[in-house]
Structure formats: structure tokens, C-alpha cells
Structure 1
Amino acid sequence: MEFSVDGTILLVSFLLIIGVITAKFSSRLGLPSLVLFIVVGMVLSQYIYYDNAMLTQLIGTFALIVILFEGGLQTKWPDIKKVYKPSLSLATLGVLATTIVIGVAAKYILGVSWLEGFLFGAIVGSTDAAAVFAALGNKNIKRKLTSTLEAESGTNDPMAIFLTVSLLQLIQNPETNPDVLVFDFFWQMGIGLLLGLLFGKTAVWVINNINLDSSGLYPVLSIALAVFTFGITSLFEASGLLAVYIMAVLLGNHDMTYRHSIVRFNEGFAWMMQMLMFILLGLLVFPNQLLDVIWEGILLSIILMIVARPVGVFLSLMFAKYNVKEKLFISWAGLKGAVPIVLATYPMVAGLKDSGLIFNVVFFVVFTSALIQGATIAPLAKYFKFSKGAKAEVPHSLELISIGKTKNEMMEIQIEDEASIIGEEIKDLPLPDDTLISAVIRKDSLITPTGDTILRAGDTLYILVHKAKREEIKKIIRQKEESEAENEQEKS
């Protein structure tokens, strides 16, 4: 079916509207939105012929950059810092163990070679950042667990990509030296990490020091820096996705001009890319072909969910401080999504003999995994008593759009429970000159501050301050009661 330019634009607008409505209903139905996006694509495949694996891979890779960047921006380093060791273990050892277990199963169930079986395992071995961020983003589940899953999903893609590419290379060139592959692994991870840190620091400096004529250009600059980070890192044959995630985490945990504009823009952009990517992936699949692998897909899905993933998790967290219930929850919440399906296009682009079989089974496994596991994460968290009820959302946000060319900015900072300023009046705070507390958010109320306003724990302060005084303000607001007690003891 052919479309004119106007017809194609109308179709895209229709798909986006359908995507937004689908996302709305997905939360009510308790299903991951990506499942419904894929269903939309599969329905449209009955009317639109689409089989361009290379274009899907290109769009999918760009979408992953946007999704990982948005997820990294909203990742809180204090939370990730506590769980980065087990998360990295899950992202490496966990993916490898899952690959081996499901690879052995695929060899016998699909009747393929050992290398092709492990290739299948590598493709479905990682959890998906888009699926995990979407599934956990609106649920108030125990922070230790959500931080672990988010950090794992943000950092395990490089391992899955490395294994997929390496196994493809071994299938096509059996004479490949394994030592070279080991070196490639450490090169990709190490250089990806270093460049992520470098570009993260550079991005912080650029965004905070460049004076653009329009506030709307700052979000565009942020995503441009993310894509640039991926491109340059990939030129060094290192992991661009890892670099993007590290860069985004570093950027998101520093003071940033136009933070709200940048975060909101990338949140919307990530949603749009998810819709486009999953609908395209649905278009790439022909439902009648899935029927040919339905029993193989069901069996491999069961093995992946209740054997391979738990083996990977329990091995990875053998020496970590997680109890059995927490390990079981992490095992079940290892959602599959865009990454495995994008990786499944690699054998197709490479012209592998069994690429069609692998793609269809991967799609089926991912779809059923996301459908079953994604729909039951919340009930399982409630059953294990990991859920803390409704997630508290920040009811207000405040940002000045006219400060790009000035040396002042609006800081948003929350008063912690042990802060020494709790109970004090604003007029008694030792604030620097030319500093103004413009608003106080207390629960759902916006308070206009005066000198007599008494500060309470949990208050969010919006402070107009000179950029050079940001760290001084942080120390004043976040100073703990204990530090004062220690100072008194030292004096005595």
C-alpha cells in the first residue's frame, strides 16, 4: 500500500494519537505500554507491508539512545551508589549466565547449532531499559529493588550487544581468535565508561555556561550531546549505549540550567520514540509466521522466565545482601523489550541462514515475557510487601525562562528530615547576600514565604541565587543536626 507525503504524515499523526491513548489504557489494564504498541504495529502489518530490518535497527538504536538518556537523567546517584556492585554483576555475569542457560535450551528446542543457540541466548539475555523504566516509573516499590533493576537495565545492553556481535563473528568466521574477543569486551566497557564520564562533565559545563537565545534550545542541546556521545564513543569501537547512560546519570545529578525543561522534553521525546520503535517492530512481524513457532516460543519463554533469568540473578547476587524474596522479585522483573528485538535484526542484516527463525522466536519470547511479567510486577511486589502504596509525585515545579543570560538561577532543594534549619524562621537563615527564597512547597500547598515563615522537614524551597553560591546554599539547607552536636563536643 503506497502513501503520498500528506497521507504518510496523517498516518504518523494517527499512530502517535493511538500511542498516547494506548499508554493511557495500559496503566488501567496493568499491561506494559510496549505490549499494546507492538499489537498496534502487528494489526497495521495486515495493511502495510514493511520488512526493512536495517531501517528498524537504525531507528531502534536511536530510540535506545533517547530512552537511556532520559532514564539516566532521572536516575538518582545516591540510590544507585548503594547498589552499583550487584547491578554491575547482574549486567555482566547475570547476562552471561542467562545466555548460556537459554542458549542450551534453544539449541535443542529450535534444532540449531550450538553457536546459533547461544546467539539466541545473547539476544534475549539482557533486560530492557525502556520496559523496566516504563514498568517501574509509576510504582512506589522498595527503592533498593527499583534502583538495582534500573541500574542493571541501563548497563547490561553493552554486554548483550558484545555477546551478540561476537557470536555472529564466530558463526561467520570460525577462525576468529577468542583472545581478541576478550580484549574487545574490556575495551568496549572501559572506554565506554571513561568517555561517558568525560562527556558527562563536558555536558554539565556546556549547558550551564552556554548562553542560548531561546530556552527551547537547551533541551535540543541536551539530546544532541547524548547522540554526539554515542557517535564519538562508537567511532572508538567502544560501547556507545553505556557511555550515553553514564553521561546522563552524571548530567542528571548535577545542577543544570533549565533542568525542568530538559527533563520534560526528553521524557516526552522518549515516549514518542518508544511508540514509534515498538509500532515499527510490530510492523516487522507477520502474525502468521509466529504461529509456526508458537510451541517453541512458549517453551523458551517459560524456561527464560522461571529458569534462565533466576539462575542468572541468583548466581550474580550470591554474595550480595539480598534475601530470597528480593532475588525472586528481581528475577521476575527482568523485563524483555526493545533491545532483544533490535538485536534480533543483527542476524537478519548479516544474512544468517536461520535469521528469520531466530527473529520470530525472539519476538514471541519477548512479547509473552513482557505481557506476563510486566502485568504481574505490581501484584508480586504487593504480595512480597515491597510496594509502598501510591507513588508521591512532586505537585509543583518552578523555573524561570529568562535567566539564560544572567548569572542567577532558581534552585529547587528539599529540606531533609535531619536538617538543622528545621523549625527556624526564614529571616534567621545565614543566606548569602542577594539570595531570595521565592516559594515554599509544603505537601500540596504553595506558600508565599515571609521572614516569619517557619521551615519544616519535607519542604521544597525555590531559591533565587547567584550561580556561584549554589554549593554554599546546599550546605546551609542540608546541614545536619549531628554536625552541630559534634561541633559543640569539639568546642567543649
Structure 2
Amino acid sequence: MIDSGFNTDGLVLLAGILFIVGVLTTKFSSRLGVPSLVLFILVGMGMGTFIYFDNAQIAQMIGVLALVIILFEGGIQTKWSTLRPVILPSLSLATIGVLITSGVVAVAAKYILGFGWLEAILFGAIIGSTDAAAVFAVLKGQNIKPRLEATLEAESGSNDPMAVFLTVAMIEMITLPDANIYSLIGSFFVQMILGVLLGLIFGRLAVWSLNQINLDSSGLYPVFATAFALLTYGVTAMMNGSGLLAVYIAAIVIGNADIAYRHSIFRFSEGFAWMMQITMFVILGLLVFPSELFTIANVVNGIMLSMILMFVARPVAVFLSTIKMNFTRKELYFLSWAGLKGAVPIVLATFPLLAGVQGSAEMFHVVFFVVMISCLVQGSTITPLAEKFGLTGPKVSEPTHSLELISLGKADAEMLEYRMEDDAEIVGMTLLDIPFPSGTLVNAIIREDKLIPPTGNSMIKGGDFLYILAPRKHKKALTGLLQKKKSSTGEFERPYAN
């Protein structure tokens, strides 16, 4: 627990310092070539010199809550058009790939750590999955080819049920010798099915609610959306389904729907996810005492298991679980190297601690060490490796300007931000000639980081960011107009009337 010498004022001060350090850490991490989450963990370990914290249960609760927020943010940013072609390889990596990785690591743990077979399989299960928080953090803002990025993000967002199932099943097999393995397998499929179904249901319910409700403040819409993420996890978990999978699927549904205050929700979710990521990794860092982590045995064992994981287990799992799925050899090498470990293995390593499994303390420290090596070595070399293999795509520009309004309240209007594609039908037309729905007003055009004051003669170009104020009742029609592609005849249809 946290040292009782800390009072409320001290904790508030500590939180302020923590987030300031965390934000500054993200600023310098790119310059140092080190993933920010590694620095967050190091900050937590450094703070552990004057803050005593050893409550694994609180760390586990904070970790799960943070993962819900991070998965939600990652899901709403995922485009269905990019995700759809990689569903099969992602699911294969999230299930078969995790099984293979866990099995290979379990064999290594048996002989390196001297565990029994059940404890070794438990260790493999804990470390077998890729981590959504780590993958989303490292890939964000990079120009990795969309197919590879989508595969990794979908895998990391959907492999938690398999990792949790294997971990819980092994703990039950160890602590309850008469546990029925067949009932455990059945519970896994129940978790997966409930996770998918409830994720779809709550996702659609959230979309309907966001579009139907008329709140007094636009700032409440992001809070409302986040509340649905927490509700989705809570209800699904209470029904013995996979709450994390449900949150990720619900987020994909929400992110690909036409919802009110879309960009406000996205911005809020991104900031909130960063806050939870900082909190989670610092807390996990606090849970580890350097004097117990950096023993000769943990360092040697951690390095050996990390090498086996990175150069044997993960590559074997990737190559076997993606057979005949049209990946090139370089792409498979990249997918193998990009299987980052992070918060999920550390959080799962608290399960045997709380269950009192023999050797769980050693297991936790070795898992922590393996995660550190994975984040430090793999996380810092993903982008250079992608560039060397020619797996990077063109940079997609994002607006450096932002146009925001004070809450519109009951005005029943919304500000939309839209990036024009090169093949959009209105590209090359002037604002005066575009049949916008009634009451629509283009407030700003951002072109190559420059503000173009809109006039009737302003011509739309590919790559432009349009900021458009429109009545909500015309939002669907406006979106259809902006997304409409050029026809083969080159003639423009005028389905909208002012």
C-alpha cells in the first residue's frame, strides 16, 4: 500500500508532478528513440525510492481500467475499411499465435526457471499476448503500411481473451487440482461470443444515444461516450464475457459511425488514454522494487527468455498462424518483431500473486524484466525496421490548426472536420458550385498547414481539411456529399437542394 505518511494534499501534489513528468517524457521519448511507456515505468520505479507501494490488487484494478480506456481510444481510431481485409490474420494471431507463443515460452521457462509444467505454462500464458497499450503507443503517428498496422492493432486489441483464459485456467489447474479442463475451454468460447455480441450491441446503442440525446454542453458528449466504454466492460464482465474484447468492438462500431461531436469525442479519448497510460505504467513501475528486480538470476533469466521470445517463439507463431494469408517474408519478419509486450503481461502477472501461486514473485519479476526488454529493444526499432524493409507508406498529414466552438447547447448544430480525398467528386469545384445542404457554412479550409479564408470562389483540392458548420439534421446528407466519389462520366449529380 501507499505509505500512510502521504496525506490528501501530498497525493494531489504527487499527481500533478506525475502528469507533468509524464507529458514531458513523451516529448523527449521520440528524441531519445525510446518508447514513452518505458520511461513511464522508469519514472514509477524512481518514485518507488520514496513511495512504498506493494498492493498488487490496486495495481491490477488500475491496470484493467486503463486498458479499457486505451482499447476504447484505439478502437474508435480504427477504420473499418482498413480493418476488414485483415480480420482473418488478426484473429489467427490473436488465438493460434498466442497459443504457439505461450507453448514455446513455456518449454523455455520449464528448463530456464526450473518451474513445474503447469507453472511454466502459466508463465507462457502471461507473456504470450501482444499488448494493446504498447502497440497503439508505438505505432501512433508512424507511417507503417496500413495493412500491417491494422493487423497489429487488431491482434493486440483482440488477443486479451486468449491470454486471460490461459492464465486463469492455469491458475485454477494449479490451485484446484480437480478443475475440469473441458469446462474451462467451454468458458473461453462463451467469453469470446459474449464479448463480440455485447460489443456490437453496446456499440450500436452508444451510436444511437449519442445522436438522439441533446445535451446542454458539447463537453458532455465525450464523457457520455466514455461512460459507454465502462458500461460495456462492466456488463460483459459481469456476464462472464470478455469485457476488453467487447470494449474494443464497441469502440470500432462507434468510431466508424456518423456520431454527434465526433472530433470532440476523439480528442477527449486520446487525452484520457494518455492520462491512463501514464498512470498505469507508473503504478506498475511502483509495484516493482529495483533491488528485487535486478538480481543476477532475474537479469540472466530475463535476457534468455526475452531472446527466445523475440527470435524463436513470436516468429514461429507468426509464420505458422499466417500460412497462405498473402504476407511477404519481409512483412512476416516485421509482424514477428512488432509483437510488443507491455501492460497486459504485467497485469496478468499479478493474478498468480493474488492467488498465492508458488514462485509467483519470481514469475512477476521475470515477466516485468521481459516486458522492459521488449519495449526497449523492439519498441525503439520498429520504425527503422519498417523503413529498411520498405514497409512504410506516405505520411498522411493531419491539421496543425484546430477550429473549435464554445458549446452550441440547444442550437442543434455541429462543427465537422473533414479531410478531402483526391478522388472526391467535389474536388476541383468552387464552394459556390457545390450543392451543400441548406444552412451549411464552410468556416475554414486548411491547406498544407495554411489557413485559406473561404469565399464563394475558393476551389476544393485533395488533402484539404474543411471545417463546416451544419445543422445536425443535414449531417448525413453533408457527409454523403463529401464522401461521394467522381463518376466515370465526370458529370456532377445535384441531389441536394439549398
TM range (shorter): over 0.9
Aligned-pair CA distance for 1:404? 3.8
Q: 1:162 aligns with which of 161, 165, 168?
A: 165
Describe the superposition over 1:314-362 as per-residue Cα deviations: whole angstroms up to 9, x where unpaired: 1111121110100111111111000000000000111111111110110
Written as runs of structure 1 = structure 2, the 5 A alignment for 1:303-322 is 303-322=308-327
Q: TM-score, normalised by structure 1?
A: 0.95
Residue of structure 1 in register with 2:496 after alignment: none
Aligned-pair CA distance for 1:75? 1.4
Q: 1:421 aligns with which of 426, 444, 461?
A: 426
In the alignment, does 2:364 pair up with 1:364?
no
Which whole-Å CA distance do the structure 2 matches of 1:392 and 1:485 have between them? 27
Which whole-Å CA distance do the structure 2 matches of 1:177 and 1:381 have between them? 45
**What amino acid sits opposite 2:364 in the alignment?**
F
Residue of structure 1 in register with 2:257 after alignment: 254
Residue of structure 2 in register with 1:16 after alignment: 19
| Contact 2:428–2:460 (8 Å) recurs in 1 | yes
Residue of structure 1 in register with 2:93 after alignment: 90
Q: Which moved more, 1:261-270 or 1:338-347?
A: 261-270
| Contact 2:217–2:408 (8 Å) recurs in 1 | no
Aligned-pair CA distance for 1:273? 1.2
| Contact 1:413–1:461 (8 Å) recurs in 2 | yes
**What amino acid sits opposite 1:403 in the alignment?**
L
Written as runs of structure 1 = structure 2, the 5 A alignment for 1:233-312 is 233-290=236-293, 291=295, 292-312=297-317
In the alignment, does 2:213 pair up with 1:210?
yes
Q: 1:175 to 1:487 in 2, by over 3 A?
A: farther
Aligned-pair CA distance for 1:23? 1.7
Which whole-Å CA distance do the structure 1 matches of 2:28 and 2:419 have between them? 33
Determine helix, strand or coil for the equivalent of 1:464.
Answer: strand
Which whole-Å CA distance do the structure 1 matches of 2:425 and 2:396 have between them? 27
Which whole-Å CA distance do the structure 1 matches of 2:489 and 2:400 have between them? 32
Question: How many residues of Structure 1 are paired with residues of Structure 2 in the alignment?
Answer: 488
Residue of structure 1 in register with 2:72 after alignment: 69
Aligned-pair CA distance for 1:486? 11
Residue of structure 1 in register with 2:49 after alignment: 46
Aligned-pair CA distance for 1:232? 0.4
Residue of structure 2 in register with 1:3 after alignment: 6
| Contact 1:219–1:261 (8 Å) recurs in 2 | yes
| Contact 1:258–1:399 (8 Å) recurs in 2 | no
| Contact 1:139–1:391 (8 Å) recurs in 2 | no
Written as runs of structure 1 = structure 2, the 5 A alignment for 1:61-210 is 61-210=64-213
Q: 1:397 to 1:78 in 2, by over 3 A?
A: farther
In the alignment, does 2:337 pair up with 1:343?
no
**What amino acid sits opposite 2:119 in the alignment?**
E
Which whole-Å CA distance do the structure 2 matches of 1:135 and 1:273 have between them? 16
Q: 2:457 aligns with which of 433, 448, 452?
A: 452
Aligned-pair CA distance for 1:416? 1.8
In the alignment, does 2:380 pair up with 1:375?
yes
| Identical aligned residues as a percent | 57
| Contact 2:399–2:465 (8 Å) recurs in 1 | no
Residue of structure 2 in register with 1:27 after alignment: 30
Q: CA RMSD in A?
A: 1.9
| Contact 1:219–1:266 (8 Å) recurs in 2 | yes
Aligned-pair CA distance for 1:179? 2.0
Determine helix, strand or coil for the equivalent of 1:405.
Answer: helix
| Contact 1:348–1:355 (8 Å) recurs in 2 | yes
Describe the superposition over 1:22-66 as per-residue Cα deviations: whole angstroms up to 9, x where unpaired: 221111101111111111222222322211111110111101111
Q: TM-score, normalised by structure 2?
A: 0.94
Aligned-pair CA distance for 1:199? 0.6
Determine helix, strand or coil for the equivalent of 1:370.
Answer: helix
Structure 1 unaligned regions, length at least 5: none
Determine helix, strand or coil for the equivalent of 1:441.
Answer: strand
Which whole-Å CA distance do the structure 2 matches of 1:487 and 1:26 have between them? 49
Q: 1:415 to 1:16 in 2, by over 3 A?
A: closer
